[in-house]
Structure 1
Amino acid sequence: MQAPEVLGGRYELGGVLGRGGMAEVRDGWDMRLGRPVAVKLLYPSVSAEPDTRRRFATEARAAAALNHPHVVAVHDSGVHAGRHYIVLERLPGQSLADALARGGPLPTAHVRAIMRDVLSALGAAHARGVLHRDIKPANILFTSIGGVKIADFGVAKSADTPQTLTNRIFGTMAYLPADRIAGRPATASDDLYALGVVAYEALTARRAYPQANLGALADAISTGYLTPLTTLRPDIDPALALTIERSMSRDPRWRFGTAEQMRASLDPPAQRTRRTGRVLAAVAVLALVLLAAMLVLV
């Protein structure tokens, strides 16, 4: 029986969890700390490419710097037998892509909750100058308690991304806006656009732009025609539908500029009013308590 492969004398490798264009993700076990991990390994065929190694290092630094509850944690990174690797938090759940592949649209409350978690993570990332640039169902992973975390910062842009790479088109075309495909530099709004496309897909169980041919896909995105969400899902409340459709607007001036703006628009007006009322009531009570304390002191 062949002994399991061990990276850096510490991480025992198991089966393959997933494969991408430049790396595979393996099940792993941290023998030092006695915990499950996921290990992302560059393929040998691309490990010698400086650009690929640079992107891999960017992923490790970007995710590790965030330390956010809705971002998959990075535990370690290194090189083993010429192959670069990143050791990641091992989540027991599946991805949103897996859930959608099983069939059926998701309930509106679930999609809204997913959007909240992702927007919380994106807000933290954007505040640190990090753009994810590849938000899609496969990069949204479920936790054991039903929340989600975003993964794969492999094409992220941060302050230390080399300038020569800044204006190149990274990401998955089906989740990119037309102006980005045309060559506009990446912005935080692109991540929010991609999340809108993901939410549309989660609510309808179909791609917003299903064209398989890249040319036809680019044309469809450029045209920007979408069947309205409320036509496909009459049960969706107007606030959620408008938030998603605004984030996917063909005109970038209509899109959300920040994750906080998009998150604030998710609630129906009645819920926002109730929340505002609760806050005002709490402030009023606090003011009365302080006033009473001042009178006692006098």
Structure 2
Amino acid sequence: MALCRRPGPWDDMMPTTSEAPRPRGTLSARPLSTPMSRKSERVIAGRYDLVRVIGKGGMASVFLADDAETGRQVAVKLLHAHLAADLDVRERFANEIRAIRRIDHPNVVRALDDGDHQHRPYLVLELVDGESMASYLRRSGPLPPDEALSLTRHAARGLAAMHAAGVVHRDVTPGNLLLVHVAGEPYAIKISDLGLASIAGHTDDLDSTLAGTTSYMAPELVVGEEPDHRADVYALGMVMFFALTGELPFTGRSPAEVYAHQLVSPAPPPSWLVDDLDPNIDRIVLTALRKDPAYRYATMNAMFQDIERALKLRAGTPNGVAATPPSDRYHPKTEEGRQLLERLVAAQA
């Protein structure tokens, strides 16, 4: 299926790229760092023998570890030493533990244990032998529609389980979706990194305007309003658009320009970039990317069911949302949000 950029009102917001898609390939393990040195630093809780760093973020490192009790390998996420005294960071780490402990689902990375090591909190997770969807897309380029739908179907199923447990992820991106092999399908998805998740009944102090990755943030997050599960619907619509086209619907020279697009620019249909794309897929993506949450899918399960209909795994055709918004522009609910929208839009004039 060929990419075919068509003239349209979205021309000034789409990125250009000269990089050709990389050949498709099999999943490959990420390169590992050098082994840990001193045993006192290496063994946690007398049980988890840290072998190598397999991932590193701003808050924590993730280690491949041997579990002495089970004989299995696990992933151990350990807060960086220089952040051990930062109460805000420790609360965010604790929030991730609370969130992931609520969920037991095959499409969500499973928590096995947690604790404190030398005044640094840690979280033990099942080891996922695969790569992120972001890495896969960098190698493969845009995916065939059925493959893109299959991957987002798994992600939608996992997110629906999270929402049923009262957890909103708030940072659904290809980098937080891990690919694993499953019988009968090329890959399944396991959702990871719940560090920005919100939990029903628990008040967090995380600044919601900072909660998320710029290109995947729902409009309500941009203006600092408290999001619900429909913010994850929006983000998964972004993931689906990117998987299908290899591009994002909104780009800019600065985060502020992207934020402005998230608030006031209608999303283009994926078919603007992908020739002969099934209109039902357009319907799913554009429903997920509505500015006003009231016009998106009401639940992640509704989006999951429409993806299954598009894959012919469920009877019928995708429904989307019947109601059409009067204008696809976000209308903040607070005065602070309205002022922020005005400043962002004015800055791009």
TM-score band, normalised by the shorter chain? 0.7 to 0.9
After superposition, the C-alpha distances for 1:169-201 in whole angstroms (9 at most, x for unaligned) are 411121112232012211100001000101111
Once the 2 structures are TM-superposed, how far is the Cα of residue 263 of structure 1 from its aligned partner? 1.5
State whether structure 2 residue 54 is matched by structure 1 residue 17: yes
- Between Structure 1 and Structure 2, how many residues are aligned? 275
Q: Which moved more, 1:232-241 or 1:148-157?
A: 232-241
| Alignment match, 1:296 | none
Structure 1 residues 55 and 164, CA, compared in 2 at 3 Å: closer, same or farther? closer
Q: Structure 1's 17 and 126: CA in aligned 2 closer, same or farther, altered over 3 A? A: same
25-34 or 204-213, which deviates more: 204-213
Matches within 5 A, 1:102-251: 102-145=139-182, 146-165=187-206, 167=208, 169-251=210-292
CA distance in 2, matches of 1:237, 1:216: 31
The separation in 2 between residues aligned to 1:214 and 1:222, in whole angstroms, is 12
Q: Which residue of 2 aligns with 1:290?
A: none
Find 1:39's aligned residue among 60, 66, 76: 76
**Secondary structure, in 3 states, of the residue corresponding to 1:17?**
strand
Higher relative contact order (CA 8 A, sep 6+): 2
Tell me what 1:8 maps to. 45
Higher helix share: 1
Residues 113, 124 of structure 2: 8 Å contact kept: yes
Cα distance in 1, alignment partners of residues 100 and 159 from structure 2: 11
d(CA) in 1 for partners of 2:310, 2:240: 17
Where in structure 2 are the equivalents of 1:218-297 lying within 5 Å? 218-266=259-307, 267-268=309-310, 272-273=314-315
Structure 1 unaligned regions, length at least 5: 276-298
| Equivalent residue letter for 1:247 | A
Name the aligned partner's letter for residue 14 of structure 1.
Answer: V
Question: Residues 55-94 of structure 1: matches in 2 within 5 Å?
Answer: 55-94=92-131
- Match of 1:76, as an amino acid? D
Please tell me the residue identity of whatever aligns with 1:264: Q
The 3-state SS of whatever aligns with 1:144 is: strand
Residue 164 (structure 1) shift: 4.0
TM-score for the superposition, normalised by structure 2: 0.73
- 1:291 aligned partner: none
Q: Secondary structure at the match of 1:52?
A: helix
| Two-structure CA RMSD over aligned residues (Å) | 2.2
Q: How many angstroms does 1:255 deviate by?
A: 0.8
SS in 2 for 1:207: coil
Where does the alignment leave 5 or more consecutive residues of structure 2 unmatched?
Answer: 1-35, 318-349
Provide, for residues 14-68 of structure 1, a one-character-per-residue CA deviation record: whole Å limited to 9, x for no partner: 2222222211111111121111111111111222122221221221121122111
